[in-house]
Amino acid sequence: MRLTRRELIKLAAAGGLGVTVLSPRQAAASAAAAAPQAMAVLVDVARCIGCRLCEGACKAYHGFPAGESDDLAPKAWTYVRFRALRTRRSHLNLGDGGADRRSYKVQCFNCVEPACASACPVAALRKTPDGPVTYDPYRCLGCRYCQLACPFQIPRFEWHSPLPVITKCNLCAERLAKGKKPACVEACPVQALQFGPRDQILAAAASRIADNPERYVPAIYGVEEAGGTSWLYVSDVPFEELGFPVVVREPLPAYTWRALGKIPGVVVALGATLTAVEAIVRRRMEMQREERERR
């Protein structure tokens, strides 16, 4: 989302004043329809040094084999993507040594209104009020409609298993339930990852840009993308250059709901019409027959 200077100042001011002052109306305007207790993570691309400790912590916590990944996989729920820059730009932490590239963590965005959860026919994927989008393999059919629906191409499927499951980052739902931070956030040595309630994280993102407008691009990725996400990104390089996908602003479940919501009306109207037509035509044929018999 592109922010105007005024919007940034407003968001930053709200952050400075604390959440309590944020009226529900303001919160709704900035943060889609996230539940009040929804948690979020801010990824600061400018700070990330590409050390991949987040990746290692994720694998260790979930019991996956260690090692570096270059894409998401059933046993790699996050990885650090490196992008070469077209024009060199001095790195916040690495200086000129890191001027030729940027790195950032990729994982499931745990959308505020997830397309995958609305697509899943058996609610194996669910949005929890705390923020995580969780997956229950015992419900799953393996139809892969979640993969089709996801605007970020995140869910992974075990293509080479006879008992496959869908896999993706669940924002460490188990840790959140115990009041802990996600494993990756805890592991980050340069505070490129910041965890907290989504409205506070949004305000923090805005103030980070407002405090240093020469460095940061005036945009927070994830404020409006797909209707808003639990992972938010600020950066000193435009998001397009970093390869962030351009996705629709409206929550995706709304697109299918517009059609699904019409079903009751269609059933009633069509059912009544067909029943009436059948009755009328049958009555008319009976009358014709009676007339013929009378003659």
Summarize as ranges the residues that interact with another protein (CB under 8 A).
72, 115, 118-124, 139-145, 147-149, 151, 153, 155-165, 245-248, 252-253, 255-260, 263, 266-267, 270-271, 274-275, 277-278, 281-282, 285, 288-289, 292
Closer to another protein by CB, 5 or 283: give it.
Answer: 283
- List phi, psi (to 5°) of 278: -60, -45
Closer to another protein by CB, 180 or 289: give it.
Answer: 289
Give the Cα separation of 122 and 118 in Å (integer).
10
CA 128, chain centre distance (Å): 13
Residue type at 119 in one-letter notation: A
Min. distance of Cβ 106 from another protein in angstroms? 13
Closer to another protein by CB, 65 or 138: give it.
Answer: 138
Closer to another protein by CB, 162 or 179: give it.
Answer: 162
Taking alpha carbons only, the member of 96, 44, 51 closest to residue 217 is 44
Min. distance of Cβ 266 from another protein in angstroms? 7
Helix (H) or strand (E) holding 81: strand 79-84
Residue 224's contacts (CB-CB under 8 Å, 6 or more residues apart) are 1, 32, 249
Other beta carbons less than 10 A from residue 67's beta carbon: 10
- Token pair for 51: 């050390």
- 170 contacts 133 by C-beta, under 8 angstroms: yes
Min. distance of Cβ 49 from another protein in angstroms? 27
Helix (H) or strand (E) holding 211: helix 198-211
- 149 contacts 255 by C-beta, under 8 angstroms: no
Min. distance of Cβ 166 from another protein in angstroms? 8
Closer to another protein by CB, 18 or 243: give it.
Answer: 243
Min. distance of Cβ 132 from another protein in angstroms? 18
Min. distance of Cβ 138 from another protein in angstroms? 8
Closer to another protein by CB, 20 or 161: give it.
Answer: 161
Task: Judge residue 274's burial from the number of C-beta atoms within 10 Å of its C-beta, 0-12 exposed, 13-18 middle, 19 or more buried.
Answer: exposed
Min. distance of Cβ 169 from another protein in angstroms? 14
Closer to another protein by CB, 7 or 225: give it.
Answer: 225
